[in-house]
Structure 1
Amino acid sequence: MPSPQPSSALRSPRLWIGTGIIVAVVSTLFALLYVGGNVNPKGNLRDLPVALVNNDRGAGTGDKHVNIGDQVVSGIKKAAADNDSIDWQVLSQAEADKRLGQGKLYGALVVPQDFTATVSGLSAPQAKNPAAPTLKVLTNQAAGSFGSSMASQATQKAAHGASAQLGKELLGRASEQKAPLAPAAQLMLTDPVTVQVADGHPLDTHSAMGLSAFYYALVLLVSGMLAANVIHSQVDTALGYLHSDFGPFRQRNPLRRTSRVRTLAVNSALMLGLSVVMGSLVELATVGVLGMDASHLGLLWLYSVATIAVVGLSALALLAVFGTPGMLLSTIVFVAMAVPSSGATVPLEALPGFFRALAEFEPLRQLTGGLRSLLYFGAQGDAGLTRAWASMGIALVVSLLFGFGMTRLYDRKGLHRVPRPAESAPSAEATPEPASA
């Protein structure tokens, strides 16, 4: 008599409901996190750091010494008093250059040394071909392309506003003079200042316009996370807990029982060893093959290996403690929440408060900051490298304590991955005796 065919798995409500809830949560989380962090950067913009530098030496006018650069700076600060989107920082040229070189400023507005003298020359009656006064706008793509662009827009708007205000004052003074102005000077007084845009911290051509640090960090993070999944699966296959399918062929090894702690130790040892291979290949591919601009190659290699190892060990801890859901948790922690809070594409100052809070501990933010220091800022500790190393150290300790602590607890309570024969077989008291004849 033919055996009955098993019912289709598609008829199981439990399968539909369970799977549906998981994919619904994942898709909703990704939509809220990815789009929510970037949907309104201008509306969320708060305290974007931009420098105001006044190098103007001033000039004598009659009995007074006038410094129009001071007026420009104070005018910009006054105009921005009710707007907290830009954090205008009045700095010296040396301090501004230092902070630009550490990625702590997205741009700067610089008043040149001869600004007052040049402006005064416009209203001089004898001036036939007066030179145009200039204000220089400095950008900083190394701190982030989008943030640098927002800073550039703000500084250029402030410079043109200062020019318009200055033009009104100069036209008023010119009308009080008895001698007429030269036609060229009178035309220039309407909008007297020329705004020049320059790069405050130039980058080389193979730096992805300031995004190579982000892409490199993302490669390291994804490599560590995927390696953890592969290692976890391969070790389970080798121990006989899982089988592997290669096309139509299936591999199933004999079951070798081992503790959860020992399994995690084996996974961790593999992760540490393979992170050396992976970190080396990532640097070889990006720098050696693709020609990405990079210096401090030895330190970059160490950073790459350490990053993959720490991310991989953290993901392995989640897999060891939570099992299959650990893979989903890794994706949420290392991708869904990390990318929008990284501050790489949209600066932290233009993110909602929730994402700014995430950036305090999310790994991609710390990794990108460290790589910006290595690739753009001469490996300065204050440029993000110290914070990155400290964050990796904390993550490593927390992951090891969490992973080995929880797996040891599981082992102590007898929560083995496959019940041992003595645990799964019925007890002697419960075994029914055969009936006597």
Structure 2
Amino acid sequence: MPSPEPSSVLRSPKLWIGSGLIVAVVSILFALLYVGGNVNPKGNLRDLPIALVNSDRGADANGKHLNLGDQVVSGIEKSAADNHSFSWQVVSRQEADKRLGQGKVYGALVVPENFSATVAGLGSPKPAEATRPTLTVLTNQSAGSIGSSMASQANQKAAHAASAQLGKELLNRAAAQKAQLAPAAKLMLTDPVNVEVADGHPLGTHSAMGLSAFYYALVLIVCGMLGANAIVSQVDTALGYLHTDFGPFRQRMPVRRTSRVRTLAVGTVLMLGLSLVMGSLVELATVGILGMDASHLGLLWLYSVGTIAAVGVSALALLAVFGTPGMLISTIVFVAMAVPSSGATVPLEALPGFFHGLSEFEPLRQITGGMRSILYYDAQGDAGLTRAWISMGIAFVAAVLFGFGVTRFYDRKGLHRIPPTAEATEATATATAPATA
């Protein structure tokens, strides 16, 4: 009697419900996290740091000593009193260059030494022949292109506002002196200050306009995650827990009973060893083949290997503790929550509060900060490298303690990956199966 046809697997409600829940969680989380962190940067902008430099030495005019640089600074601070989007930091030129070179400010507005003297020259009988004073806006793409652009716009707006105010004062002074100004001179006095934009911390042409550190860090994260998934698959195949398909051919190794702790230990050793390979190949591909601007190549290699190892061991711990759902958890932790809170594209000061909180512990923010220090800031510890190393070490130790602690608990409770009864049943079925010719 012919056996009945098995029912289609598509009729299984569990298949539809299980798959639907997984894709629903992934879809909603990625949409909320990715778009939510970047949808309104200007509306969320709070205290974006900008350096304000007053190098003006002042000048004597009409028997008085004037320092119009102080006037510019006080005017900006007064206008910013009710605007919390930007944090103007009044510093010296040397300190401004230092903060630009550490990524601690997104730009700077510089009042030159001869500002007052040059403005005073505009009050001469022939102001059209005088030299226009200059305010310099410094950008800092190394701190993030969007943040640098926001700072540049704020600096230019403040500089033009200062120019308009000075122009009003110069015109009033000329009117009080009953000076006859030519139309060209009057037009120049209306907006007397020339605003120049310059790069405050120049980068090389192969630095992705300040984004190479973010992309490099993201590559390291992905290598650690995918490397962990590949290692788990290979270890399970070698232990006989999984089979391997090569086209139409299937291979399955004999089952080798191993504790969960030992299985995780094998994967961890593999991860540490292969991190050397992956870190070397990433640097070879990006610096050697693509020509990415980079210095401190030895430190870059060590940082790359350490990052991949820390991320990979963390992903292995999640897979060992949670099993298949560990892959989804890794994706959420290392990608979905990490990218929008990294501060690499949208600055941290322009993120909603939730994402700003995530940035305090999410790995991509720390890794990107350390990578910026190596690639852009001469590997200065204060520029993010020290924080990155400490965060990486804490993450590695926490992952090892969590992974081995929980798997040891599973082993002590007898929660083996293949229960002894199931293994005995499988062995009996194999021994009693009829031989086929």
Question: TM-score, with normalisation over the residues of structure 2?
Answer: 0.96
Closer/same/farther in 2, CA of residues 115 and 32 from structure 1, 3 Å limit? same
SS at match of 1:23: helix
Residue correspondence of structure 1 range 411-430 to structure 2 within 5 A: 411-421=411-421
2:106 maps to: 106
Q: Please state whether the residue corresponding to 1:279 is helix, strand or coil.
A: helix
Check if 1:191 corresponds to 2:191.
Answer: yes
The aligned residue for residue 302 of structure 1 is 302
Counterpart in the other structure of 2:397: 397
SS in 1 for 2:129: coil
Contact kept, 8 Å, 1:103 with 1:383, in 2: the verdict is yes
1:328 equivalent in structure 2: 328
1:48–1:86: 8 Å Cα contact kept in structure 2? yes
Shift of 1:124: 1.6
Contact 1:122 / 1:185 at 8 angstroms: preserved in 2?
A: no
Which residue does the alignment assign to 1:428? none
Amino acid at match of 1:356: H
CA shift at 1:109, angstroms? 0.4
Structure 1 residues 128 and 266: alpha-carbon distance in aligned structure 2, compared to 1, 3 A threshold = closer
Residue deviations 1:228-272, cap 9 Å, x none? Answer: 000001100000011111221111110000000000000000000
The 8 Å contact of residues 125 and 182 in structure 1, kept in 2 or not, is answered as: no
- SS of residue matched to 1:15: helix
Q: What letter is aligned with 1:362?
A: E
Residue 432 of structure 1: aligned partner? none
Query: Which residue in the other structure is 1:2 paired with?
Result: 2
1:251-306 Cα offsets, whole Å, 9 max, x none, are: 11100000000000000000000000000000000000000000000000000000
Aligned to 1:64: 64
Aligned to 1:165: 165
CA contact (8 A) 1:160 1:195 kept: yes
In 2, the alpha carbon distance for the partners of 1:293 and 1:197 equals: 24
Contact 2:370-2:383 within 8 A present in 1 as well: yes
Residues 351-399 of structure 1 deviation map (CA, whole Å, 9 limit, x = unaligned): 1000000000000000000000000000000000000000000000100
Task: Report the counterpart of residue 429 of structure 2 in structure 1.
Answer: none
In the alignment, structure 1 segments of 5+ residues that lack a partner are 426-437
Unaligned regions of 5+ residues in structure 2, if any?
426-437
Task: Please state whether the residue corresponding to 2:50 is helix, strand or coil.
Answer: strand
Q: Does 1:267 align with 2:270?
A: no
Deviation at 1:15, TM superposition (A): 1.1
| Residue number in structure 1 paired with 2:434 | none
**What is residue 231 of structure 1 aligned with on the other side?**
231
Q: 1:182: Cα distance to partner?
A: 5.0
User: Aligned letter for 1:105?
Assistant: V
2:37 counterpart SS class: helix
* Percent identity (aligned): 80
Whether the aligned pair in 2 keeps the contact of 1:279 and 1:305 (CA below 8 Å) is yes
Q: Which amino acid aligns with 1:291?
A: G
How far apart are residue 404 of structure 1 and its match? Answer: 0.2
Residue of structure 1 in register with 2:142 after alignment:
142
Aligned to 1:370: 370
Distance 1:286 1:422 in 2: 49
Alignment-mate amino acid for residue 231 of structure 2: I
- Deviation larger for 239-248 or 352-361: 239-248
Amino acid at match of 2:303: Y
Distance in 1 of aligned mates of 2:178 and 2:148: 46
Q: Does the Cα contact within 8 Å between 2:227 and 2:271 map onto a contact in 1?
A: yes
Secondary structure, aligned partner of 1:51? strand
Deviation at 1:424, TM superposition (A): 6.5
Give, in whole Å, the separation in 2 of the partners of 1:199 and 1:309: 36
Aligned to 1:349: 349
State the partner residue of 2:433.
Answer: none
- How many aligned residue pairs are there? 425
What is the alpha-carbon distance in structure 1 between the residues aligned to residue 69 and residue 116 of structure 2? 7
For residues 125-166 of structure 1, the C-alpha deviation after alignment (integer angstroms, 9 at most, x for no partner) is 254501111100000000011110110011001111111111
- Farther off after superposition, 240-249 or 374-383: 240-249
Cα distance 1:255–1:342, how it changes in 2: closer, same or farther (>3 A)?
same
Match of 2:340 in 1: 340
Match of 1:13, as an amino acid? P
Q: Check conservation: 1:260, 1:411, Cα contact below 8 A.
A: yes
Question: Tell me, what secondary structure is at the counterpart of 1:216?
Answer: helix
Determine if the alignment matches structure 1 residue 28 to structure 2 residue 28. yes
**In 2: Cα distance, 1:229 partner to 1:422 partner:** 26
Compute the displacement of 1:186 (Å).
2.1
- SS at 1:38 equivalent: coil
Distance in 1 (CA, whole Å) between partners of 2:269 and 2:36 is 38
CA distance in 1, matches of 2:400, 2:127: 75
Mapped to 1, the partners of 2:247 and 2:369 lie a distance apart of: 43
Query: What amino acid sits opposite 1:121 in the alignment?
Result: G
Q: CA deviation at 1:185?
A: 2.9
**Counterparts of 2:265 and 2:163 in 1: how far apart (Å)?**
67
In the alignment, the residues of structure 2 paired with residue 424 and residue 344 of structure 1 have an alpha-carbon distance, to the nearest angstrom, of 54
| Alpha-carbon distance in structure 2 between the residues aligned to 1:216 and 1:191 | 45
Q: Would you say 1:131 and 2:131 are equivalent positions?
A: yes
Does structure 2 retain, via aligned residues, the 8 Å contact 1:110–1:135? yes
Match of 1:433 in 2: none
Q: Which amino acid aligns with 2:51?
A: A
CA distance in 2, matches of 1:381, 1:293: 20
Equivalent position of 1:250 in the other structure: 250
Q: 1:386 aligns to what SS in structure 2?
A: helix
8 Å contact from structure 2 (residues 225, 312) kept in 1 = yes
Change in Cα spacing, 1:413 to 1:423, as seen in structure 2 (3 Å) is farther
- The answer on whether the counterparts of 1:123 and 1:181 sit within 8 Å (CA) in structure 2 is no
Distance 2:317 2:378 in 1: 34
Task: Report the counterpart of residue 202 of structure 2 in structure 1.
Answer: 202
